[in-house]
Amino acid sequence: MSASAHRRIVGKLVIASHNPGKLREMRELLAGYGVAAVSVGELGLPEPEETGTSFRENAVIKAVSAAQASGLPAFADDSGLVVDALGGEPGIHSARWAGPDRDFARAILAVERRLAECGADSPEQRRAHFVSALCVAWPDGHLEEFEGRVDGQMVFPPRGAQGFGYDPVFLPDGFERTFGEMSSEEKHGLPPIGRGLSHRARAFVKLAEACLERR
């Protein structure tokens, strides 16, 4: 699709997430583009059942649900941690591993226990990557979709209290600090200030080039 074929996001945009960490990152990424962001929680909209079998499918489900319910363009992210030694788990079930109370400390321990069970103790055996699929849906059915990925390895014990989710045990390639030890600017700050390092930032850079205009 050429740049001219993409649809621009103007005015108000619904962020289709109830996750406080994701909401914070999405709002920080959108800052400076003249878009007024409101969350589905602020609108009192429920979370749809994520029945997709891929990050992309679940992002579409969330964005379309929010767009149809609000009558506004909606922006959804579906992202997760993919651990090679675990056959791609937790993958699209990354949040579910944390349970209904979003206890990611428990989820991190579950990942580490599984890695120990399969004897994954060297850096090469602990390879992993984060994936972020972004979708913007309009009430008329138009969709814009983008994906980003960042590779790295799992570390333990957790390091750092920044970020959220599995950030404290993910060490991105080429760095000596985990996502949990990085400031938000370091992790997902966009050029020229930041490197656009995170999976969500990398997907967002593609979205911004296609659908947003810097104010």
Enumerate the active-site residues.
78
Distance in angstroms (rounded) separating the CA atoms of residues 89 and 41: 28
What Rg do the C-alpha atoms of the chain give, in angstroms? 17
Is residue 124 left, alpha or beta, with left meaning phi > 0 and alpha meaning psi from -120 to 50?
A: alpha
Which among 198, 204, 158, 149 has a CA at the least distance from the CA of 13? 204
> Measured between alpha carbons, how far is 198 from 203 in angstroms, rounded to an integer?
9
Residue type (1 letter), 80 = G
Nearest to 199 by CA among 150, 139, 146, 133: 150
90-101 burial by CB neighbour count: b if 16+ within 10 A, else e?
bbbebbebbeee
Give the integer Cα–Cα distance in Å for 100 and 97.
Answer: 9
